[in-house]
A and B are shown apart, each in its own frame.
Chain A
Amino acid sequence: AQSVTQLGSHVSVSEGALVLLRCNYSSSVPPYLFWYVQYPNQGLQLLLKYTTGATLVKGINGFEAEFKKSETSFHLTKPSAHMSDAAEYFCAVRKPNTGRRALTFGSGTRLQVQP
């Protein structure tokens, strides 16, 4: 079974500072990996995903993440935080090529951006 660990339930950064949200996964095979963002009182929106190919993936709103197999990590970064980035972020994983395509989610990291 796959699992996801997000280190830090709350992260606070200053506007313009680097954003780093950590995600480590456990999977018996190289998984598909995802980052979703949830703004207050809204559903989840896909930020970016890794399925195959290039390990550095770019997403919306200037976010990117790198799949590091040796470290079983998929950390999310953004060079310069904006006030509008304040939200909750979820890392998710699933095994490829399976009949069941449900994602397994981490517990989430709430990002606060200080002016």
Chain B
Amino acid sequence: NAGVTQTPKFRVLKTGQSMTLLCAQDMNHEYMYWYRQDPGMGLRLIHYSVGEGTTAKGEVPDGYNVSRLKKQNFLLGLESAAPSQTSVYFCASSYQTADTGELFFGEGSRLTVL
């Protein structure tokens, strides 16, 4: 039972490069989220999706884009990476029909922008 899987787990970019982080969940969850984690700041919501084909901005969306073409996948894109985007990125998902409140997290993707 894989749960939430993120790829890649590690990546180093140069300023201005682009990349995409992939999140896949096999729990048939409607809701999916991208957070970034920085020391002393906890987790901050970048974007989220309440279903296939829908996306919405979170607290820190600037510099990121997302897509939810398939229910099980949620992609996070950086079009022109900046050093301020060096962080650990977490994807999460949750139920729609049963509002248990819980989010299920992937293991994270560590991104370094030089």
Contact = CB atoms under 8 A, between A and B. Distances in A.
Interface of A: 4, 9, 32, 34, 36, 41-46, 49, 51, 90, 94, 96-97, 99-108
9 contacts: A43-B90, A44-B43, A44-B105, A94-B101, A101-B94, A101-B103, A102-B103, A103-B43, A106-B42
A54 to B, nearest CB: 15
A49 B101 contact: yes
A49 B102 CA distance: 8
Contacts of B42: 4, 90, 105-108
Given A90-B43, A108-B42, A43 B101 contact: no
A57 B60 CA distance: 32
B107 A42 contact: yes
B84 interface: no
Contacts of A107: 40-42
Nearest to B94: A101
Nearest to B105: A43
B74 interface: no
B41 A44 contact: no
B101 A34 contact: yes
Given A43-B106, A90-B43, A105-B42, A97 B50 contact: no
Contacts of B100: 49, 51
A36 to B, nearest CB: 8
A43 B34 CA distance: 13
CB-based closest 7 A-B pairs: A43-B105, A105-B42, A105-B43, A107-B42, A32-B101, A43-B107, A44-B105
A102 B102 contact: no
A42 B94 CA distance: 19
B99 A97 contact: yes
B69 interface: no
Given A102-B45, A103-B103, 4 more contacts: A41-B108, A101-B101, A101-B103, A105-B44
A102 B74 CA distance: 15
A105 to B, nearest CB: 4
B17 to A, nearest CB: 24
